[in-house]
Amino acid sequence: MSTAKQEKEPLFSPKNKKLLTSPINLNNPITVQVLGICSALAVTAKLKPAFVMAVSVVVVTALANVIISMLRNGIPPRIRIIVQLVVIAALVILVDQVLKAFVYDVSKQLSVFVGLIITNCIIMGRLEAFAMGNKVWPSLLDGIGNGLGYGLILLIVGFVRELFGSGTLWGYNVIPAGAFEIGYMNNGFMILPPMALIIVGIIIWIQRSKNPELFEEN
């Protein structure tokens, strides 16, 4: 590698941009790596909790990546998982307290799932796979990118489920009352967790048919 370039790599060089964008599509944590499915099923019945969850995960992945990346040379390899968990747990508790303070009702809906961000495989995975071996700035981008990739899927699933399941978006009625009078009904299946799995499946289907590089040999 040429040293001159290495020293003054621009903040958004193509390589760094790729860290941010690749998890949103080709390397999406949910639809390609199939991680973090549990919370994607649990919190997406409505758009608002899905959005709050997405933001929380973006914050936690980004900050955890930054902190671990700073510490990476000082962490003894044998206890690195514990160190990572402590960092994540601290961040999650911070997020939880902020949610309780400012959006109490959503925090109640998310209930245990905020705490369970700690066990979200995406975060641990990024710390292990990326932050432990990369500098702070790329780690931050990687964290934000993966958080956004996760959040994007959450928002799509939440949008579809709330629109067809409850007839609302962000809590506001969007299906006109006239539709209900002529016989339209909300789809109760959308509220149930299996439908979230089916919607994620459909997203994977569409994504793969648009990106030939994701085809798997079998």
Please give the residue ranges that form the binding site for other proteins (CB under 8 A): 183, 185, 187-190, 192, 198, 201-202, 205
For residue 192, count other CB atoms closer than 10 A to its CB: 14
Q: Which two structure tokens, joined as six digits, stand for 110?
A: 């998310």
Q: What is the smallest separation between the CB atom of 164 and other proteins, expressed in angstroms? A: 9
Is residue 115 within 8 A of residue 126, CB to CB? The reply is: no
Give the pairing of strands 168-169 and 172-173: antiparallel
Q: CB nearer to other proteins: give 70 or 198.
A: 198
Q: What is the smallest separation between the CB atom of 76 and other proteins, expressed in angstroms? A: 45
Q: CB nearer to other proteins: give 73 or 218.
A: 218
Q: CB nearer to other proteins: give 25 or 187.
A: 187
What stretch of H or E contains 168?
strand 168-169
Q: Is 169 helix (H, G, I), strand (E, B) or coil?
A: strand
Quickly list H helices, the chain.
3-7, 14-21, 37-42, 47-71, 80-102, 104-110, 112-115, 121-129, 136-166, 177-181, 188-191, 193-210
Q: CB nearer to other proteins: give 137 or 164.
A: 164
Report in angstroms the alpha-carbon separations of 87 from 5, 36, 54: 33, 19, 19
Q: What is the smallest separation between the CB atom of 53 and other proteins, expressed in angstroms? A: 24
Task: Indicate the DSSP class of residue 120.
Answer: -
Q: CB nearer to other proteins: give 1 or 177.
A: 177
Strand partners, 173: 168
Q: What is the smallest separation between the CB atom of 9 and other proteins, expressed in angstroms? A: 44
Q: What is the smallest separation between the CB atom of 30 and other proteins, expressed in angstroms? A: 18
